[in-house]
Copies of this chain bind each other. A is one copy, B any other.
Amino acid sequence: MLRRTVPRAFSSATSSLRGLPLDGTTINENVKSAKYAVRGNVLERSMELQRRMAAGEKLPFDTIVPCNIGNPHACLQSPLSFHREVLSLCISPTLASDHPHVFKKDVVERAKAYTAGLGGGVGAYTNSQGIPAVREEIAAFIAERDGHPARADHIYLTNGASEGVRILLTCLLRSGGLHDGLLTPIPQYPLYSASLTLLGGTLVPYLLSEGGNWGVEMDNLRESLATARAKGVEVRGIAVINPGNPTGNILAEEQIKDIIEMAVEEKLVVIADEVYQSNIWKKDASFSSFKKVACDMGYTGAEGDERLQLVSFHSTSKGYYGECGLRGGYMEVHGIGAEVRAELYKLSSLSLCSNTIGQLATGIMINPPKKGDPSYETFTKERDDILSSLERRSIMVHTALNDLEGVTCNRADGALYAFPRIRLSDKAKKAAEAKGVPADEFYCLEILDQSGIVLVPGSGFGQEDGTLHFRTTFLPAEATMHETLKNLARAHEKFMDEHRD
């Protein structure tokens, strides 16, 4: 081995880091600045309370009720039988041949079809973009849903929708001080704000109209865009969450049209987060995808037609399915050219592929048993039970919230959340200031301490200056919902009484 003399002291001396190789002073500042309140301080505090209860401490409640996150199975929602059995068979294909009477015929057939298309079973890396057969299934689902064609090679399977958002924003937001920005609704699911911070992009907020049932106001939107551009921000796209998180708003086709028109005029990529498309509670309302409306308007996205650039997201985590843990999801690109599609493929390749079980779960989600199939009846009963219970709970929660002193709450037309406005006294605000926390977080922490209910402060989603909110899911099991709402009312009343001006 050749030994060369290298001046050690010299090389050390030229490092300008003052801290440790990796500590709070030397870590990437964008990481430190990113905020994700859904798993923030209130959740931290709930985990501490959980530990104290486990250690035998008496608290004013018996159980922690996690209303901070849309995690249905953690709130005892049951998985769908057909879906789970197919996945079990894909993992252990010999179960069906060794024990022929255990599984229904359509379960065995579906698992066989998937396994045949996998070439190496669930243990092999798939095409980086996802299993071709599942992408074909998704394309057929989209085509039927929208009445317009969809292409398997425009679909990318991802670990949940959030990975797709990360990959897309990584392509969209340029580094090197270019001040790229994204129009983002306020309030918004904080994946968007956190990702923007992380990638060095600028959040360009457009306020949803609380008085207009959290709808989008086009003048507002255009003004936000103009203001940001005047400040030198290169606005690259617009994020829309429909049905809304945390708002529950469902966009009407007319509103979607207006947004698409503006995106075409202003050269913005539309990022359509449609993960709640099966959670529609408003009577006579239905979900219209951005893709459908775009195609209706003539923006077909055919090769070469890039007038409208649209990327839509879906996930196994929501709907009536609620399979959060399996991390299934996809994005569909529309009006995005071959060069960019190849770059999206390369980024997917870097993590090789999304997990195969999540990919298959996505396939089963959008292609459930059909009328006449042996599993059809069980499936429809399971699905309808979940959806009708969610609808009832949505009404229970909204009614109860509007009964609270100083609280008003729009009806949730869709999705899994309520986002009520709370009016706190000056005394409460001063108490929060004294503790060094935002007033809405102070409120949520006090409610947690009294009731065990985990809420998320509105500041985590963004809210109009001078207003305060929180987000709650309506996922606690129906049998316990009355009790939960009573506990919330009691804790709220106590808070209000203790902080009267």
Contact = CB atoms under 8 A, between A and B. Distances in A.
20 contacts: A1-B209, A1-B219, A2-B219, A6-B226, A14-B229, A27-B171, A28-B171, A31-B347, A36-B346, A71-B125, A123-B325, A125-B324, A159-B159, A159-B351, A160-B351, A160-B352, A177-B177, A324-B352, A325-B356, A327-B353
B327 A354 contact: yes
Interface string A267-283: 11100000000000000
Given A123-B325, A324-B123, A343-B31, A21 B356 contact: no
A182 to B, nearest CB: 11
Nearest to A345: B39
Interface in A307-356: 309, 317, 322-327, 336-337, 339-340, 343, 346-347, 349-356
Contacts of A160: 351-352
A175 B194 contact: no
Given A23-B306, A28-B171, A125-B71, A15 B337 contact: no
A343 B99 contact: no
A168 to B, nearest CB: 9
A450 interface: no
Contacts of A382: none
Contacts of A219: 1-4, 6
A93 to B, nearest CB: 9
A32 interface: yes
A31 B337 contact: no
Number of copies: 2
Contacts of A225: 11
Interface stretch (A230-238, A292-300, A394-402, A454-462): A230-238
8 A-B pairs with the lowest CB-CB distances in the bound complex, closest first: A73-B123, A325-B356, A74-B120, A327-B355, A74-B124, A6-B222, A73-B124, A14-B229
Interface stretch (A83-91, A143-151, A417-425, A433-441): A83-91
Contacts of A226: 6-7, 10-11
A69 B3 CA distance: 36
A265 interface: yes
A20 interface: yes
The residue in A27, A32, A77, A172 that gathers the most chain B C-beta atoms within 10 A of its C-beta is A27
The residue in A39, A123, A162, A347 that gathers the most chain B C-beta atoms within 10 A of its C-beta is A123
